[in-house]
Amino acid sequence: MIKFLDLQKINLQYQEEIEAKLLETFRSGWYLLGNEVKNFENHLSKYTGSPNAIGVANGLDALRLIFKSYLELGQMKFGDEVIVPANTYIASLLAITDNRLKPVFAEPDIENYNLDVKKIEALITPKTKAIMVVHLYGQICWSEELEALAKKHDLKIIEDNAQAIGAEWNGTKSGNLGDAAGFSFYPGKNLGALGDAGAVTCKDELLAKTIRAIANYGSDEKYVNKYQGLNSRLDEIQAAVLDVKLKYIDADNEKRRKIAERYVSEINNSKITLPHLPTDPKAHVWHLFVIRTENRKDIQDKLLEKGIQTLIHYPIPPHKQKAYKYYNNLSFPITEKIHDEVVSLPVSPVMSEDEVSEVISALNSL
Ligand SMILES: *Cc1c(COP(=O)(O)O)cnc(C)c1O
């Protein structure tokens, strides 16, 4: 059986180090707002190159907190518009609508599933305040054109970096490209905790201070509350585990890259559309290896018969979800085609060469 993602095996790679940290943190008697979080934040800041890193409870909160802080700082107001790819995971949308901002959907580029910068300018109105880029499946979504567009219209760029920790654009890491970025350390992400966890990185010091306060009941001084905040803190145990795993993220991502390269060069089936390898290999960390095919159900069933698990990221786009009834009548043909055709193949740092070969020959024999 080739699992889609073997989390047990992934974490057992670092068993000794993680167990030692878990025990140490347990015995310390200090579980929130302590040194483990501080250490991890410092290391994440150094790793990404971003001057500020704030540990929070999960990836959705990371994104919610960014917008909430812009609202508190008066840099955005209710009803302002945020341009967002229509084919993202629903969390990107929830972060916008939860703050009473208005998502404006943009169709992606069918070649790389990321925002198509050529389609953005037509969506900009006087109310547009930000573009949310999603580095979908682990691939950097960035260009000089995008930077210039944001500058011209005075827009913030928020990165949904839940899937792409470690990816680079011209030597700059994801999370240090835009004004602010949200990270998820959900167990299945490339850097996964042992439960929910997330972080924000941002360039502006005042924004960082505001996010930190809002994530802590709106307080940056004990029992003094500046904002109507949330409780969204990263805890010491998760931070300790993440700090161990952060040391290995580049090596882990490199193993994913090797698998992706093999899939792209060795899968040969006319019914399957493969993703493109980016010109700069570092632009992709292959959180997911996503193929497209018109007979998805059939391919998934046949792979499963051979003991190979696959998943779909994602079967229903946000604008077609019941949660967003008032957007259900919108039509985004590229997005809908993607959601109808995608299948994610197993890819992870603990897959063996033989397992990769097995997936390849299974697909080639269909
Ligand atoms: C996982 C994910 C999130 C949300 O992260 P959580 O930690 O699960 O809250 C947001 N956006 C994208 C693109 C994701 O993949």
Indicate the top mutation candidate among 186, 285, 287 to test ligand 1's pocket, ranked by most ligand atoms within 8 A of CB. 186
Contact 347, 137 (CB under 8 A): no
Tens-place pLDDT, residues 13-45: 999 999 999 999 999 999 999 999 999 999 999
- Ligand 1 site residues (CB inside 6 A) read 58-60, 88-89, 91-92, 134, 160, 162-163, 184, 186, 196, 198
pLDDT of residue 173: 98
> Which residues, including other chains, have CB under 8 Å from residue 141's CB and lie 6 or more apart?
114, 115, 133, 134, 135
Cα(260) to centroid of ligand 1, in Å? 22
Q: How sure is the predictor about 360, in pLDDT bands with cuts at 50, 70 and 90? A: very high
Q: What is the pLDDT of residues 90-132, one digit of tens each?
A: 999 999 999 999 999 999 999 999 999 999 999 999 999 999 9
Query: How many domains, the chain?
Result: 2
- Indicate the pLDDT class of residue 249, thresholds 50, 70 and 90: very high
Same domain, 34 and 135: yes
Q: Is 38 noted as a catalytic residue in this protein?
A: no
- Residue 305 Cα, ligand 1 centroid: separation in angstroms? 30
| Arithmetic mean of pLDDT, 183-189 | 98
Percent of the chain with pLDDT over 70: 100
For residues 236 and 254, membership in a common domain is answered with no
Q: Does this model's pTM top 0.85?
A: yes
Confidence (pLDDT) at 361: 98
Task: Flag whether 1 is in a domain.
Answer: no
Residue with the nearest Cα to atom 10 of ligand 1? 91
- Per DSSP, the residues of 277-345 read PPSSGGGB--S-EEEE-TTHHHHHHHHHHTTB--B-S-SS-GGGSGGGGGGTT---HHHHHHHHHEEEE
Domain co-membership, 285 together with 199: no
**Whose Cα sits closest to atom 5 in ligand 1?**
59
pLDDT grade for 211, boundaries at 50, 70 and 90:
very high
Shared-domain flag, residues 124 and 19: yes
- pLDDT for residue 246: 98
Domain that holds residue 186: 7-106+113-243
If you measure from the C-alpha of residue 59 to the centroid of ligand 1, how many angstroms do you get, rounded to a whole number?
5
The Cα–Cα gap between 304 and 289 comes to 17
If asked whether residues 61 and 163 sit together in one domain, one would say yes
Residue 55 located in a structural domain: yes
pLDDT, one tens digit per residue, over 264-309 is 999 999 999 999 999 999 999 999 999 999 999 999 999 999 999 9
> For the residues 55-83, what does the mean pLDDT come to?
98
Say whether both 239 and 273 belong to one domain: no
Question: How far does residue 366's CA lie from ligand 1's centre (Å)?
Answer: 33
Classify residue 2: in a domain, yes or no: no
Residue 166 lies in a domain: yes
Do residues 100 and 173 share a domain? yes
